[in-house]
Amino acid sequence: MDNLQLIVKKYNIAIVGATGVVGETMLSILEERNFPVNNLILLASERSSGKEYWFRGQRSTVKTLNENSFKDINIALFSAGAMISKQYADIAVSEGCTVIDNSSAFRMDSDVPLVIPEINPEALSNHNGIIANPNCTTIVTLMALNAINKYSKIKKIIASSYQAVSGAGQDGINELIDQNKAIVIGQDPQIKYFSHQIANNLIPKIDRMDENGFTAEEMKMVNETRKIFNDENIRISATCVRVPVKTAHSVAVTIETENKIPIDNVREMIKNAEGVELLDDPLNNIYPMPLLAEGKDSCLVGRIREDLVFENGISLWVSGDQLRKGAALNTIQIAEKMIEMGVI
Amino acid sequence: MDNLQLIVKKYNIAIVGATGVVGETMLSILEERNFPVNNLILLASERSSGKEYWFRGQRSTVKTLNENSFKDINIALFSAGAMISKQYADIAVSEGCTVIDNSSAFRMDSDVPLVIPEINPEALSNHNGIIANPNCTTIVTLMALNAINKYSKIKKIIASSYQAVSGAGQDGINELIDQNKAIVIGQDPQIKYFSHQIANNLIPKIDRMDENGFTAEEMKMVNETRKIFNDENIRISATCVRVPVKTAHSVAVTIETENKIPIDNVREMIKNAEGVELLDDPLNNIYPMPLLAEGKDSCLVGRIREDLVFENGISLWVSGDQLRKGAALNTIQIAEKMIEMGVI
């Protein structure tokens, strides 16, 4: 494929789960980034079909997802949960479509690349039609650690997450808003979606329990990090906690690297790294916060300091928009990178 | 002192900072626990003097704190900030009064015991009139770790805190309530007390910055833990974060112990330990949460699991009421323990 073709080629795109909050974010990011879209097809369950969205000045009506949805589609962006991905991804691939899947369905499959384009784009060169988008907390954390890991291998990671309600979709966002409203007007907050009240509270369990006492969300951090950093020996432990914050995840991270890195060098690396922004002047109250990260493409990194426990230890704090870099943006960046690499 | 005297002796008590949220909590805890109070004197700045409180059915009027406030007082509970403690504690002691100080003023002084009664009551036997109450986050964390540390020495602690706004006093609580209200009615939340908006947000900096890149709040965890556990070699690292929660602090803690302890034994220890409550059935969505810890005397401990990074590692999650065990309750428990030990 020569450069001229790269410039002019446009793609037929399907968004599966178009009416979800990640699907809607995908739609606006495709427009923002001027993605080379030829036809755009919005797909959802029957319940949501008929809903209309605007894309580049044209109205687009959501259609019901079915087995014939992928004819003539080049790239399908899936964000409708693992069950839908398992049911429809293979059908899409059999139609010649490339699937970029935001669910957990295929992430740990050995023949499915799990990719953050700034970190391991090379994994895209060998795929069987399905590419997996990592979990949001993994993405935000690894975006902060990537430059460090390239400079000196990370051996250990201990992470505590502060995860926004948007990780549970629009239902999660609505629940926080509704509960805050109820509290302000003196009513009892209703619990519909989360296991417990989330307004003025914290829920230290996300996703189901694994047998080892960690949650599935925490084990995603462990397993996905190993796959993305391509290092089975890295030791990782996480505590994942839902907090009453809207759309940005934050993570307190402590790591041990193979070699000692002076803290000023770490700051310099973060400053120069792609997809992250250094916000590290705590004396002047400048540090990453969810409210600053919301709506931003970059993950914000700060509170960088020499750790007091590990030998070659670094502690830091990162905030990143869960809907954008944690989900929709990374999915679309994967598609962009694949086009650039000519593997789509 | 024989048992009969122990039973009948009552004490003249002063609360310094009586109109603050910790001071008010002290007042209600003295009543709840039927503390042997003879006279009760409520002290505050001139601005707050004249305010009235009920104590055991009697009205008590707040007086202005001055150099003559401590005549005939046996025990003074200070909770009016480090500056007031530095100014008045010695005066109180010179009047023969025992000072139990909730501020950071004297915590690291070598001749001042820093005490959590369930952990190191023996430190109370040798004092010069001033006893320090530890920082709230330290108390909540060490309450979860005490039984483990007694069984097998803890060598390393990595902690991430999720701290309630009450840690910043009534101003902090009001700020969260006011900001949530503003958001619900569609106004801009006003920032008066914290450095940034706290509603729907996280602030990863509490107290001033230390030179090593940690905050003073984080270094309190480091230094106070060493003093309370009486172990200068324990390695501790913390990230302290303000979260939009009212009065209970939570902490995600990962530790390494000298010897391996089976997780079931850890659960059994916590279950049998004084001042903590085991809430550890995540499969059934039972785990500590701030909303469950608010108003409780016990710190709640759960999510106990074998850690994936440290050799003999344990990860757990604890929530404790910052105003009660984190401040007012522990201060009064120190007084009770000193009476029991006959050192007051």
Do A120 and A200 belong to one domain?
Answer: no
- pLDDT > 80? residue B1: no
DSSP symbol at B99: E
Write out pLDDT tens, residues B234-273: 999 999 999 999 999 999 999 999 999 999 999 999 999 9
- The interface pTM score, or ipTM, of the predicted complex is 0.96
DSSP characters for A1-65?
Answer: --HHHHHH--EEEEEETTTSHHHHHHHHHHHHTT--EEEEEEEE-GGGTT-EEEETTEEEE-EE-
Chain A nearest-CA distance from B308, in A, is: 5
With beta carbons under 8 A apart, name residues in chain A contacting B137.
Answer: none
Query: For the CA atoms of chain B, what is the radius of gyration?
Result: 20
CB spacing of B282 vs A160 below 8 angstroms: no
Binned at pLDDT 50, 70 and 90, residue B17 comes out as very high
Q: How far is A116 from chain B (nearest CA, A)?
A: 24
Pairing of strands A248-257, A154-163: antiparallel
* Active-site position among B97, B127, B240, B249: B249
pLDDT tens track for B91-117: 999 999 999 999 999 999 999 999 999
Contact A157 B315 (CB under 8 A): no
Domain check: are B164 and B299 in the same one?
Answer: yes
Chain B residue with minimum CA distance to A254: B158
Task: Give phi and psi for B107, each to the nearest 5.
Answer: -55, -40
Same domain for B288 and B317, yes or no, is yes
Is residue A205 exposed (0-12), middle (13-18) or buried (19+ Cβ within 10 Å)?
buried
**Domain count for chain A:** 2
List, in sequence order, every residue forming a beta bridge with B58; answer none if it has no partner. Answer: B55
Task: Supply A70's token pair.
Answer: 């992928």
Residue A216 sits in the same domain as residue A80:
no
pLDDT at A130: 98
Among chain B residues, the shortest Cα distance to A234 is held by B309
Q: Please state, as a whole number, how many other Cβ atoms lie within 10 Å of the Cβ of residue B190.
A: 11
| Domain with B50 in it | 3-133+327-341
Comparing alpha-carbon positions, the chain A residue that sits nearest to B264 is: A213
C-alpha–C-alpha distance, residues B203 and B180, integer Å: 16
Residue A234, amino acid: I
Query: CATH code at A279?
Result: 3.30.360.10
Percent of chain B exceeding pLDDT 90 equals 98
Q: Which residues of A touch B215 (CB under 8 A)?
A: 282
Cα separations in angstroms, A321 against A20, A219, A241, A272, B242: 16, 21, 16, 20, 19
Residue B8, pLDDT > 70, answer no
Three-class secondary structure of residue B165 per DSSP? helix
Question: Which residues of chain A make contact with B160, given a CB cutoff of 8 A?
Answer: 160, 239, 252
Q: Which of A184, A188, A202 to mutate to test the interface with B (most CBs of B within 10 A)?
A: A202
- Nearest partner of B133 among B159, B151, B113, judged by Cα: B113
Q: Which residue of B lies nearest to A235 if distances are taken between CA atoms?
A: B309
- Residue contact A241–B162, C-beta within 8 A: yes
Report which DSSP code applies to A167: G
Q: Across the interface, which of A196, A205, A245 has its CB nearest the CB of B202?
A: A245
Instruction: Note whether A162 contacts B243, CB cutoff 8 Å.
Output: yes
Residues of A with CB below 8 A from B244's CB? 200, 243-245
Which regions in chain A score pLDDT beneath 70? Answer: 1-8
Catalytic residues of A: 136, 249
CB contact under 8 A, A245 and B160: no
Residue A302 C-alpha, separation from nearest chain B C-alpha, in angstroms:
9
Residue B136's Cα: distance from chain center in Å?
Answer: 3
Task: Check if B136 is active-site.
Answer: yes
Closest of B265, B241, B261, B264 to residue B251, by C-alpha: B241
Residues B155 and B299 in one domain: yes
Per DSSP bridges, beta strands A37-44 and A63-64 are parallel
Using a CB-CB cut-off of 8 Å, the residues of chain B touching A305 are: 212-214
- The alpha carbon of residue B227 is apart from the nearest alpha carbon of chain A, in Å, by 17
CATH of the domain at B53: 3.40.50.720
Nearest to A202 among B158, B214, B245 (CB): B245
Give the pLDDT confidence of B28-77 residue by residue, as tens digits: 999 999 999 999 999 999 999 999 999 999 999 999 999 999 999 999 99
Residue contact B254–A237, C-beta within 8 A: yes
- B4 has pLDDT over 80: no
In B, which residues are within 8 Å of A239 by CB distance?
Answer: 160, 252, 254, 303, 315, 317
Across the interface, of B195, B288, B307, the residue whose CB is closest to A237 is: B307
Question: Which of B205, B217, B317 is the mutation pick for testing A, counting most A CBs within 10 A?
Answer: B205
CA dihedral B101, B105, B108, B111 (to 10 degrees): -60
Q: Which chain A residues are closer than 8 Å to B245 by Cβ?
A: 200-202, 244
* Chain A residues closer than 8 Å to B263 by CB: 213
B246 and B101 in a single domain? The answer is: no
The answer to whether residues A330 and A270 touch, using CB atoms and an 8 Å cutoff, is no
d(CA B330, nearest CA chain A) in Å: 23
| Average pLDDT, integer, range B139-168 | 98
Which one of B141, B154, B156, B158 makes the best mutation probe of the A interface by having the most chain A beta carbons within 10 Å?
Answer: B158
Residues with Cβ < 8 Å from A58, sequence gap 6 or more? none
Out of A202, A245, A315, name the one closest to residue B289 (CB): A202
CA distances from A254 to A163, A318, B145, B238 (A): 17, 11, 20, 9
* A236 interaction partners in chain B (CB closer than 8 Å): 308-309
Contact residues for B171 (Cβ-Cβ < 8 A; gap 6+): B192, B193
Q: What kind and span of H or E run contains B340?
A: helix B329-341
**Are B206 and B114 part of one and the same domain?**
no
Out of B158, B197, B222, name the one closest to residue A158 (CB): B158
Residues of chain A positioned with their CB less than 8 A from the CB of B291 = 196-197, 200-201
Q: Are B237 and A307 in contact (CB under 8 A)?
A: yes
Residue B74 Cα, gap to closest chain A Cα (Å): 39
What is the residue whose two structure tokens read 């427009």?
A31
Average pLDDT over residues B315-344: 98
Angle CA(A95)–CA(A98)–CA(A104) in degrees, nearest 5?
115
Contact at CB, B204 and A303, closer than 8 angstroms? yes
One domain for residues B176 and B312: yes
pLDDT band at B7 (very low <50, low <70, confident <90, very high): low
Same domain membership, residue B126 and residue B12: yes
DSSP conformation letters of B44-55:
E-GGGTT-EEEE
Considering the domain architecture, whether residues A91 and A152 belong to the same structural domain is answered as no
Residues A150 and A88 grouped into a single domain: no
- Across the interface, of B181, B201, B222, the residue whose CB is closest to A245 is B201
Q: Please indicate whether, in this complex, the C-beta atoms of A204 and B236 are within 8 angstroms of each other.
A: no
CB pair distance less than 8 Å for A203 and B282? no
Contact between chains at A162 and B289 (C-beta distance less than 8 A)? no
At A204, list the tokens.
């230290």
CA distance B23 to B98: 17
The reply to whether B11 and B66 lie within a common domain is yes
In three-state secondary structure terms, B344 is coil
